[in-house]
A = this chain, B = another copy of it.
Amino acid sequence: MFMTTLWDRSRQVAVQAILDTAVRLFAEQGYEQTTIAQIAREAGISQRSLFRYFGTKEDLVCGDQEALGELLRRTVEQQPAEVSAWDALRAGFEVILTANHTPERVLELSRLIFATPSLHARYIEKRLRWQTELVPVIQARLGTTTDPSSPDPRAKAIVATAFACVDTATELWAGHDGRLDLADLYDQCLAAVRGED
Q: Which residues of A contact B (CB under 8 A)?
A: 117-118, 120-122, 124-125, 128-129, 150-151, 153-154, 156-158, 160-161, 163-165, 167-169, 171-172, 176, 180, 185, 188-190, 192-196
Contact = CB atoms under 8 A, between A and B. Distances in A.
A168 B192 contact: no
Nearest to A163: B164
Copies of this chain, how many? 2
Contacts of A151: 172, 176, 180
Given A124-B124, A153-B168, A161-B165, 12 more contacts: A117-B125, A117-B129, A118-B121, A118-B125, A120-B128, A121-B122, A121-B128, A124-B125, A153-B188, A153-B189, A156-B168, A160-B165
Contacts of A189: 153-154, 156-157, 160
